[in-house]
Structure 1
């Protein structure tokens, strides 16, 4: 099976990288690429030639704007992975666009038209699938769940840390609204009298400067903000966390996703705390492989103290998380799911 990966995409973006890593493990799959970041999207002859040589065309995360042109130009079956709704993200999550503005309509149409034109659409959770169906009227038979997963070869578990003088509560991310980093800061404020608890928030992004200012205004010495960490150093950083924090955003999008970090933490065999949501319950079970919490600083602080004082529970949750994702949600399993969808699109 020849799959062309096309559009304006980032091959190293976590979601896309996991899928491509997984597909590369399948002997029956041959991958080729036409990435607009490297080749001209206006070179129709070259793009048409690349499409002609493929059986299936895969458009990875965030390529909404490329679906229509490639579908028309190629005439080949299109497997599309939007990952997000542009409309939901810009209007309701980032709140950059007024709900009833022309820009909101433009983003709505980008979602709807791209999903309608694709032959099959991938969704990272069942919650996202239902959102696409009800919001954009995409038929359920076109929508298929492929979880984010994790490349377990790149995120192997390390030996347990054991007891230390400082209990490290860790997080990494892009400081976007759905991650709820403000809530983490409020939690740290409640726990600032616990001198042996330290919060380490890795990354930067949308609200990073706001978080820096908030930490400074609260005069919190129990939070470090080291900034961005290279991908190949991420596992080592997370292996220094005693407990890992998921997401605590208050937007609708936060209820629809299971973020990359949850799968990474689980692969590293770490105990996790995250906001309770319908999406996260699709894979993880409270008290078995994760601790879910009400989305308040008081409730999160209570969970942190519980795990700090109960090493046996931490170990139980960590092992449970690892067992949950080890076989069903590694990159090989995710690649196999994508391959099976591609097979559905092959000519009889």
Structure 2
């Protein structure tokens, strides 16, 4: 099968479509990428919703990217399947125009309306407009890829039959990292965009409550809840704040820690996702501590520690327990790594997509 990974996606910001590409290659298919990154991250797109006068800048840049995509797409062989990368709500229409009856797969990790609600952009006509954009994108795709069963259920009923649940998984490089040394204070890492979904402010409160305990935090990233997180952490000194880390360096940084934190938000979206960082942290050999939600429990079972969403006291207690129980910590690290290798490598996660496309492939098993 010839597959074209297509669109204005950015794998450094949203690695999901890169995982799909790796998995399809591992399954023996010919994969080519045609990518012209738009350069506007999710936060910038949401700002445009709040400030509509910025939208023309998006349109101009999108037109330039589409010209590059059109030139690149027409130079290569005709694909059997086109996979449109995440945030491809507009790109999917270009794919249909360029490739006619070829099967078009939309990586619909999350809807535009859902993202805006999570980031508290709800006023006026914005939500109806975004729902219309989502609906048009879904209608243009032959197959719609979502990440959890909960997200599949949020799709309009007429699109659910064309949807397939493909876990986000982790790129290959996350499985290739060396774990940090044992002993010393519990090393805990969080990285993300500090959105309400991620519940970073809850982590900040837990940091303050663990002052004086043998727990050290690395907090990577920034976003709308960063200031609140800093305030909640107060005068805690056992924490390193980093604005961001290049994508190529992030796997090694995470693997040097004992625990990778997931998400702790309390909103509806937070209860429907299994975030990148949970898969990636497990692949890198970290123990996982995250919120107690159905999709995360279903994904990792007893290979993670779960706390109620938004409960800083429970989060602090869970981390304190791991700091005091190295055997329990070692067991959780091993279980998380095993779960990632057995279920969430690129070649494993694409199996439902291949089945949906009517293609069978025997995935390559990794050693445990």
TM > 0.5 fold call: yes
Superposition deviation, residue 244 in structure 1: 2.0
Question: Residues of 2 paired with 1:238 and 1:42: CA distance?
Answer: 38
Map 1:133-152; keep pairs closer than 5 Å.
136-152=156-172
Question: Residues of 2 paired with 1:320 and 1:44: CA distance?
Answer: 42
Question: Residues of 2 paired with 1:297 and 1:170: CA distance?
Answer: 16
Question: Residues of 2 paired with 1:115 and 1:50: CA distance?
Answer: 27
User: How big is each residue's C-alpha offset from its partner over 1:265-288, in whole Å with a ceiling of 9 and x where there is no partner?
Assistant: 111222111110111022111xx2
* 1:204 paired to 2:222: yes
* 1:289 paired to 2:303: yes
Which residue in 2 is equivalent to 1:323?
Answer: 338
2:197/2:267 contact within 8 Å kept:
yes
SS in 1 for 2:265: coil
State which of 154, 161, 176 in structure 2 corresponds to 1:131: 154
Question: Residues of 2 paired with 1:116 and 1:188: CA distance?
Answer: 45
User: How big is each residue's C-alpha offset from its partner over 1:153-176, in whole Å with a ceiling of 9 and x where there is no partner?
Assistant: 443353463221x32222111212
Superposition deviation, residue 261 in structure 1: 0.8
* 1:251 paired to 2:267: yes
Map 1:145-184; keep pairs closer than 5 Å.
145-159=165-179, 161-164=181-184, 166-184=185-203
State which of 293, 296, 308 in structure 1 corresponds to 2:323: 308
* 1:88 paired to 2:107: no
Question: Residues of 2 paired with 1:48 and 1:28: CA distance?
Answer: 18
Give the unaligned 5+ runs of structure 1.
Answer: none
SS in 2 for 1:229: coil
Question: Residues of 1 paired with 2:11 and 2:307: CA distance?
Answer: 34
SS in 1 for 2:300: coil
1:115/1:138 contact within 8 Å kept:
no
Which residue in 1 is equivalent to 2:241?
Answer: 225
* 1:18 paired to 2:19: yes
| TM-score, structure 2 normalization | 0.82
CA RMSD of aligned residues (A): 2.5
User: How big is each residue's C-alpha offset from its partner over 1:205-238, in whole Å with a ceiling of 9 and x where there is no partner?
Assistant: 34334434554xx222232212211222222222
Question: Residues of 2 paired with 1:232 and 1:35: CA distance?
Answer: 19
The answer to which of 333-342 and 309-318 deviates more is: 333-342
Which residue in 2 is equivalent to 1:191?
Answer: 210
Q: 1:44 to 1:58 in 2, by over 3 A?
A: closer
SS in 1 for 2:236: coil
Superposition deviation, residue 11 in structure 1: 4.0
| TM-score, structure 1 normalization | 0.86
User: How big is each residue's C-alpha offset from its partner over 1:239-260, in whole Å with a ceiling of 9 and x where there is no partner?
Assistant: 2322221110111111111111
* 1:112 paired to 2:135: yes
Which residue in 2 is equivalent to 1:4?
Answer: 4
Give the unaligned 5+ runs of structure 2.
Answer: 39-61, 360-368
1:19/1:338 contact within 8 Å kept:
no
Q: 1:55 to 1:271 in 2, by over 3 A?
A: same
Runs of 4+ in 1 over 4 A off after TM superposition: 36-40, 42-48
Question: Residues of 1 paired with 2:126 and 2:253: CA distance?
Answer: 40
Superposition deviation, residue 118 in structure 1: 0.9
Q: 1:294 to 1:73 in 2, by over 3 A?
A: same
1:3/1:30 contact within 8 Å kept:
yes
Which residue in 2 is equivalent to 1:64?
Answer: 89
The answer to which of 218-227 and 151-160 deviates more is: 151-160
The answer to which of 174-183 and 16-25 deviates more is: 16-25
2:208/2:232 contact within 8 Å kept:
no
SS in 2 for 1:6: strand
